[in-house]
Structure 1
Amino acid sequence: MTVTAGDLDHAVQLSIATLLRASSADWDGKAGSLEWTCWETVEHLADDLFQYAVLLAPRTPPLTGDVPFLWEARRPGGPHNAVRADRSAGPAGLLQVLEACGALLVAMVATRPPSVRAHHGFGISDPEGFAAMGIVETLAHTHDLADGLGLAWTPPAGLCARVLTRLFPNAPTDTDPWPTLLWATGRGDLPGHDGLTKWRWYGEPRP
């Protein structure tokens, strides 16, 4: 059930292939239940992947805080990002930014030793953990975007199961992985389980 750089690349490519089908849609509409627009949500996702990559990048990664890029919002309630896409490049350019940031994290996960540790607010983690976090961000936010853009989106069950095992040790294991991941990230109901008003993952390396 190890999560790999290849899993992360697969998730990012699946997301981009899905979002490319909405190139002419209203990217300034809301992304599902989020308060962000679809454009802002893709920028946020790209920024997440970029942030995880730069946390792993230094020879001595930070253990108590982020690498000090400037993260800031462009409007009240908007995402705090260091990464922005040029609006004049349109949706295709936006998705190229997402792919580039995803590739940075894929490269860091593939090349950093498993012994590397870096800061995250949900626990100091290792390259596998950051790969899993990047996948969860990608799958969950593509769900938000698909809702806002009117697209179908169901990622592979095996991919969902691997990140559930790595990051959500208390999640049920006798339910379908994709609905379970949506439930674990506060995005859906799961029969037989109370809905979550607060959620988190556990990125610490497994023994």
Structure 2
Amino acid sequence: MSRSVETGPLPSSVTADDLDRAVQLALAVLREAPPAAWDNKAGSLEWDCWETVEHLSDDLFAYAVQLGPRKPPLDGAVPFLWESRRPGGPANAVHADRTAGPAGLLQVLEASGALLVAMVRTTPSQVRAHHICGVSDPEGFAAMGIVETLVHTHDLAEGLGLVWTPPAGLCSRVLTRLFPDAPATADPWPTVLWATGRVALPDHPRLTDWRWYGSPRSPVPGA
């Protein structure tokens, strides 16, 4: 795919650097996990912590490959085979070798994140690709990857006994990009957790159904 030179991002834009920062911050926290804790349930999820990292890795991988073809599909996902290793487990194309231990698991996460960072960094802004919540652009996939990373690291931190509070600016940018109707009265990080159905906010009950809006901010130039 031909990659064009583009002008700099808007101040509120979500960038590849934001995604890279989110992944690296998550890795730094997860590396502190006790080795015996990876079989614990991940927060409110039905998966254990190992499966949740595989799921997060798979999300980042899936977003990267969706942007990969010269003409990304607009009507469905690139047809990798996603399958669960157990009833009720996450359906992934990415699975980590358990004999590599937690260090290997986190290396899989870092590698998957790096794939999406590279695709966001090198894909022209006018490119569009399918997502179940609507056709999106590279910035949208970066924002989705960040939200996946932030909230699943929250789930993991609960299961692993860790502390996780991502930067407010990072949270604010993904709220602006993906959750335009989120309340502006609370701190950005709790608002991300509210928008993804994990906590309640004052005057805003916990959501039982939620989605983000990945549609591009502007149409394809010249369309």
**Where does residue 71 of structure 2 map in the other structure?**
60
Give the whole-Å Cα distance in 2 for the aligned partners of 1:3 and 1:15: 17
Larger Rg: 2
Q: Which portions of structure 1, spanning 4 or more consecutive aligned residues, are displaced by more than 3 angstroms?
A: none
Q: Corresponding residue for 1:100?
A: 111
Percent of paired sites with the same residue? 76
Corresponding residue for residue 150 of structure 2: 139
Residue 127 of structure 1 pairs with residue 141 of structure 2: no
Q: CA deviation at 1:174?
A: 2.3
SS in 2 for 1:200: coil
| Counterpart contact for 2:34–2:160, Cα < 8 Å | no
| Residue in 2 that maps onto 1:183 | 194
The runs of 5 or more residues in structure 2 that have no matched partner are 1-11, 219-223
Whole-angstrom distance in 2 between the partners of 1:25 and 1:165:
38
Partner of 1:193 in structure 2? 204
Amino acid at match of 1:3: V
Deviation, 1:193, is 1.2
Letter of the aligned partner of 1:73 in structure 2?
A: S
- Mapped to 1, the partners of 2:217 and 2:151 lie a distance apart of 23
Distance in 2 between the 1:150 and 1:131 partners?
A: 28
Q: State the alpha-carbon separation in 2 of the partners of residues 59 and 10 from structure 1.
A: 27
- Counterpart of 1:25 in 2: which secondary structure? helix
**Helix, strand or coil for the counterpart of 2:79?**
coil
The 8 Å contact of residues 25 and 149 in structure 1, kept in 2 or not, is answered as no
| Alignment root-mean-square deviation, CA | 0.7
Query: Partners of 2:191 and 2:73 in 1: how far apart?
Result: 32
Aligned-pair CA distance for 1:23? 4.5
Alignment of 1:1-207 (within 5 A): 1-207=12-218
Name the CA distance, whole Å, in 1 between partners of 2:167 and 2:98: 31
Structure 1: distance between partners of 2:98 and 2:205: 41
User: Could you state the TM-score of these two structures normalised by the residue count of structure 1?
Assistant: 0.99
**Does the CA contact (< 8 Å) of 1:42 and 1:98 recur in 2?**
yes
**Larger fraction in helix:** 1
- Give the superposition deviation at 1:194: 2.3
Aligned length in residues: 207
TM-score for the superposition, normalised by structure 2: 0.92
